[in-house]
Structure 1
Amino acid sequence: MIEQTTAIAIFDIDGVVRDVSGSYRRAIADTVEYFTNQGYRPTPLDIDKLKSEGIWNNDWEASQELIYRYFENQGQTREQLQLDYNKIVTFFQSRYRGENPDNWTGYICNEPLLLQLSYLEQLTQAGIAWGFFSGATRGSANYVLEKRLGLQSPVLIAMEDAPGKPDPTGLLATVRQLENGLETTSAIIYVGDTVADMYTVKKARELDSSRTWIGVGVLPPHVQETAARGDAYAQTLIAAGAALVLSNVQELTPEQIQELVS
């Protein structure tokens, strides 16, 4: 561990470190379709619209909400439906991880990586500490960080460790872990791909005004299929508080970080 750091960079995982358009988002669509009896399969735009509300970072809860809204449009009330959340989670996980919890064979196995180990090594060499704060389960997060990227016990606050975003508790906890043995760092950058990520930075700033809190947005791959859609998504992130929006996390170079925090 370095003794002094110029800044801390904390990364969300889904849509930043890995492309989840064919995994988490596909599992959302599968789940909603199943529980609406094939009546509705949300499009990527439908899911983006829901997540732009800033409170649906948890994909199990997002799935449930889309199911509820479908049936509400059919004239039914939530009280009438009484959806079983645990059944929604179980079905979702059967698609995302696979049927066998000990041998994952689901969509998670095919997630493209958006970040390379060499990028993180560049940050370390530049004196920039880094870690991860994600709404993914610890098992899912460690799958990509340790098994896919080859990291050894990285600093990680996952779903089980803190309330869901935009609550900033997990972000603050990640900072505390990274600062263990270091001088207090004045500049914290959180890199995420959703409105909830940017709201989390705002709330952290409200709780700790002694630091500089910077939200950096990253466009997830599925919104980059057309320039218009990417531009619209970028504007949504900027409106939510992003200082800048990048098309890939590795564009946040050590030089770019120094420029942001200086």
Structure 2
Amino acid sequence: MTQETSRQSNSTDAIVIFDIDGVVRDVAGSYRRAIADTVEHFTGGAYRPTQTDMDKLKSEGIWNNDWEASQELVYRYFEEQGQQRHQVALDYQILIDFFQSRYQGPDSQNWTGYICDEALLLQPSYLENLTAAGIPWGFFSGAPCAEAAYVLSGRLGLNSPVLIAMEDAPGKPDPTGLLAAVHQLENQSSIDTATPVIYVGDTVADMLTAEKARLVQPTRRWIGVGILPPHLQHTPDRLDAYTANLKQAGAIVIFNNVQELTPSRIRELLQRPA
């Protein structure tokens, strides 16, 4: 699929930018499994974080980078044992290499790791429906470019979609990457610079990114749409807490699956008072 057909006049209703992890693909058994493996390894097998542990960390809104999240969980474990961070012999690059050996696999040129088993959370037909409705779309993700492209091009069959990835911008909740994705779509489609932007994500950091974009461009409407990760949807107590965190961070509406954000729902959101 190509986005060439999505070029519209400047009368489009909204621009939609998607996060990837937890929105386009389920990462509970891949990125999060790699976090758990990494923390367990660098704590000498003493601590393996649970999904709840990782959710709590992510709810702080600043741990979008999973390498940094892994490092932070290692540090916090040793702090609980009475050590200070400078006493922990932890090489960040070695930690990254270990993480990637689990997520991508031991051969960085021929991936066989957890990334190969991720379930898709949307289908190409969903994006085609947005295009048919005159709604331009793109992606802003904290994942490395190669890993984002693996799912967008390799799994979904998208042909050079607008993508801002880890190498292209500072980490969330810094809004630079979101603004860059929007700018690319504006240039492609001759979109009015006042067109509302919807950012779809599954974490507090995603919602804060939309909030911070509003501070940079206050004359434009920025709408944060939350998606509940699949691993939470069968645990009501954790689901309620996660939902509350997303709302507190600025989510206007929250869905169980991204494909619930249909063109008609988008127009409903735009009709709500700003």
TM-score, normalised on structure 2? 0.94
1:240 paired residue number = 249
Pairing partner for 2:138 from 131, 144, 151:
131
SS at 1:131 equivalent:
strand
Q: 2:63 aligned to 56, 61, 67, which one?
A: 56
Equivalent residue runs for 1:146-161 within 5 Å: 146-161=153-168
Inter-partner Cα distance in structure 1 for 2:124 and 2:8: 18
Matched ranges for 1:64-75 at <5 A? 64-75=71-82
Partners of 1:187 and 1:3 lie apart in 2 by: 15
Retained in 1: the 8 A contact 2:233–2:239? yes
Match of 2:3 in 1: none
What is the aligned counterpart of 1:250 among 244, 255, 259?
Answer: 259
Distance in 2, Cα, partners of 1:186 & 1:14: 25
Alignment partner of 1:77 is 2:84: yes
1:8–1:185 CA contact under 8 A, matched in 2: no
SS in 1 for 2:16: strand
In structure 1, what is the equivalent of residue 127 of structure 2? Answer: 120
Deviation of residue 226 (structure 1)?
1.9
Measure how far apart 1:185 and its partner are: 4.1
1:1-262 matches, within 5 Å, as: 1-4=7-10, 5-180=12-187, 181-262=190-271
Deviation at 1:83, TM superposition (A): 1.4
Structure 1 length-normalised TM: 0.98
Whole-angstrom CA distance in 1 between matches of 2:56 and 2:26: 18
CA distance in 1, matches of 2:84, 2:235: 37
Deviation of 1:254 (Å): 0.3
Q: Which amino acid aligns with 2:101?
A: S
Shift of 1:252: 0.4
Distance change in 2, residues 1:185/1:129 (3 Å): farther
SS at match of 2:138: strand
Structure 1 letter corresponding to 2:253 = L
Q: Over residues 192-223 of structure 1, what are the superposed CA-to-partner deviations in whole Å (9 max), with x where a residue is unaligned?
A: 00000011011000110110000000000011
C-alpha contact (below 8 Å) 1:212/1:261 kept by paired residues: no
Deviation at 1:36, TM superposition (A): 0.2
Deviation of residue 166 (structure 1)?
A: 0.3
Cα RMSD (Å): 0.8
Structure 2 residue runs without a partner (length 5+): 1-6
- Distance in 1 (alpha carbons) for counterparts of 2:32 and 2:205: 16
Q: Name the CA distance, whole Å, in 1 between partners of 2:75 and 2:49.
A: 13
Amino acid corresponding to residue 208 of structure 2 in structure 1: Y
Verify the 8 A CA contact 2:194 2:221 in the aligned structure 1.
no
Aligned residues: 262
Contact 1:9–1:188 (CA under 8 A) maintained in structure 2: yes
1:16–1:220 CA contact under 8 A, matched in 2: yes
Task: Give the partner amino acid of 1:250.
Answer: Q
Letter of the 1:3 partner, please give it. S
Overall identity of the aligned pairs, in %? 68
Task: Indicate if the aligned counterparts of 1:6 and 1:185 stay in contact, CA closer than 8 A.
Answer: no
Uncovered stretches (5+) of structure 1, i.e. residues with no partner: none
